A and B are shown apart, each in its own frame.
Chain A
Amino acid sequence: MDNQIVDLYLSNPKVKRDWEDFLTSLKITNFSANEVDQIDYTIGIYSGDDLVATGSVAGNVLKYIGVCNKGVTTGSRFNAIVSELVNRQFANHIYHLFVFTKLNYSDSFQHIGFSELAHSDEAAFLETGSPDVNDFLTDIPRVDDQSDKQVAGIVMNANPFTRGHRYLVEQAASQNDLVYVFVVNTDASLFTTEERFQLVKDGTVDLDNVIVVNGGDYMVSYATFPAYFLASPDQAVTYQTTLDARIFRNVIAPALNITTRYVGSEPLSRTTSIYNDVLTRELPPAVEVKVIDRDQTLTSDHQVITATQVRQFIKKGETSSLTAFVPETTAQFIQNHLTTLQKRIQEGMNIDGN
């Protein structure tokens, strides 16, 4: 029967080899472990003994979609594969899906109900389902006459919220009528999303013109910027951050009238440093980028404040060193939850990343 969809078990070496050979013939060649290991499941269509179409899912992202149209109506196998993946995700109550694809396939996805969030010269990023980006933007709190106000945005993981973060928010708050702080939504850090969000909220509660918002799937999330969470080559970082920056510039910023994006200077993390460069290249002139130097006078011995260092203190139990690095609210939280946090580190939570 035509378009009979079967499960492909990549744990079987023969299946995996066929799958890689087929995708390679379609010029999809990145089979690095940190990409392939993310896959939840893979499906395919065979014609005789030959694999002629395949697609995979990792969380809420469709991956490794490849189709050969030889001898069939163009699009029929593609539609069958994507339908099946989408329906299986819906059956698992995942109603909001993303796909990263080469730019020339963007139209094929748009043809079956995906909408494009951003594209670069090589790649496109699309979403389908509900709630979509418009629902996300509608739910963000607004102030009166926002279109006449000077509005800025900051995106932070805040793992956890430090005096450095606080300084960045203060700078932005003093220079603008309104500041949105978007907290990274992906839950892949020592502090959970809920904890990070609450610590940012508590740490900025005295700043009246700051609104703390969950960044959802659109700002530095596993979907838009996986390299932030997984060690990746520079090229992958540049390519993902370009899309991330364009979503902010084209979709997020105009909806909220954001005209300035604040970032902290980044002497230590390579990934974040590339991200800052890409933002500076992509956002202007629509959105101005202000790089705020880390204020080393915040600590008595002029250290650079980083959340990475704070996590080291937690690991070693040096809570007395914390006060120079984090605001009272964060220090209090760490004191109260020290054993829980240390347990997470012992259980293998990586604390050296971002």
Chain B
Amino acid sequence: MEIKETAVAGTLESSDIQIMISKATDGIQIDLQSDVEKQFGDQIRQVITKTLNDLDITAAKVKAVDKGALDCVIKARTIAAAQRASQTTDQPAWEVL
């Protein structure tokens, strides 16, 4: 899957995470802002990276603002943002869920 435009999913409210994905030339760069960065920063980055890899996305710039989201929420928001960014919302990637 290829990132075609900037897209976003999620909100800034408690227990949610806002994920913005935009184009990048290579690699997945994650800019994470979280109150629990120290405890769960690596875990959050890992969930985002794995979800993107499962979607065959190898290059993307991700900006994530976490408000204490659980892994399932992070995954769901990442998939939604990625599908919007790659203009594939009409073909949900069920297998990644």
Q: Which residues of A contact B (CB under 8 A)?
A: 73, 76, 79-80, 82-83, 86-87, 90, 93, 95, 111-113, 129-131
How far apart sit A111 and B5, CA to CA, in the bound complex (Å)?
26
Using known A-B contacts A79-B67, A95-B6, A113-B33, determine if residue A129 contacts B11 with beta carbons closer than 8 Å: no
Which residues of chain A are near B7, meaning CB under 8 Å? Answer: 90
Q: In the complex, which residues of chain A have a beta carbon less than 8 angstroms from the beta carbon of B65?
A: 112-113
Q: Is B51's beta carbon under 8 Å from chain A? A: no
Contacts of A90 in B (CB 8 A): 7-8, 20
Interface residues of B in 1-32 (CB under 8 A from A): 5-8, 11-14, 18, 20, 22
Residues of B within 8 A of A95 (CB): 6, 8, 20, 22
A134: nearest chain-B partner, CB-CB:
B31
Contacts of B43-97 to chain A: CB distance below 8 A? 61, 63, 65, 67
> Which residues of chain A are near B13, meaning CB under 8 Å?
76, 79-80, 83
Q: From B11, which residue of chain A is reached at the shortest CB distance?
A: A83
Partner of A76, one of B5, B14, B35: B14
User: In the complex where A83-B18, A95-B6, A113-B33 touch, is A130 in contact with B61 (Cβ < 8 A)?
Assistant: yes
Question: Measured between alpha carbons, how far is A76 from B22 in the docked complex, in Å?
Answer: 27
- How far, in whole Å, are A86 and B7 apart by their CA atoms in the complex? 12
Q: Can you report 11 residue pairs joining A to B where beta carbons are below 8 Å apart?
A: A79-B12, A79-B13, A82-B12, A86-B18, A90-B8, A95-B6, A95-B8, A112-B65, A113-B18, A129-B63, A130-B20
Top 10 nearest A-B pairs (CB, nearest first) are A113-B65, A83-B12, A83-B11, A95-B6, A130-B22, A112-B12, A90-B8, A79-B12, A113-B33, A79-B13
Known: A83-B18, A95-B20. A130 touches B6 (CB 8 A): yes
List B residues at the A interface (Cβ < 8 Å): 5-8, 11-14, 18, 20, 22, 33, 35, 61, 63, 65, 67
- Other than the given A80-B13, A83-B11, A131-B22, 5 more pairs (CB < 8 A) read A86-B18, A112-B65, A113-B18, A113-B65, A129-B63
| Closest beta carbon of chain B to A50's beta carbon, Å | 21
Which single residue of chain B is at the shortest CB-CB distance from A89? B8
Q: Which residue of A lies closest to B66 (CB)?
A: A113
What is the bound-complex CA distance between A319 and B51, given in angstroms?
63
- Structural contact, B6 and A86, CB atoms closer than 8 A: no
Closest chain B CB from A53 CB (angstroms): 13
| CB <8 Å contact, B14 and A113 | no
**Could you tell me the distance between the alpha carbons of A83 and B14 in the complex, rounded to whole angstroms?**
11
Q: Which residue of A lies closest to B64 (CB)?
A: A113
Closest beta carbon of chain A to B20's beta carbon, Å? 6
Query: Nearest Cβ distance between residue A265 and chain B, in whole angstroms?
Result: 42
| Contacting pair A129 B20 (CB below 8 A) | yes
> A73 to chain B: closest CB distance in Å?
8
Cα distance, A87 to B80, chains bound together (Å): 14
User: Which residue of A has the minimal Cβ distance to B14?
Assistant: A76
Tell me, in angstroms, the Cα distance from A79 to B13 when the chains sit together: 6
Contacts of B12 in A (CB 8 A): 79, 82-83, 86, 112-113
Q: Which residues from chain A contact B20 at a C-beta distance below 8 Å?
A: 90, 95, 129-130
- Closest approach, in angstroms, between the C-beta of B62 and any C-beta of chain A? 10
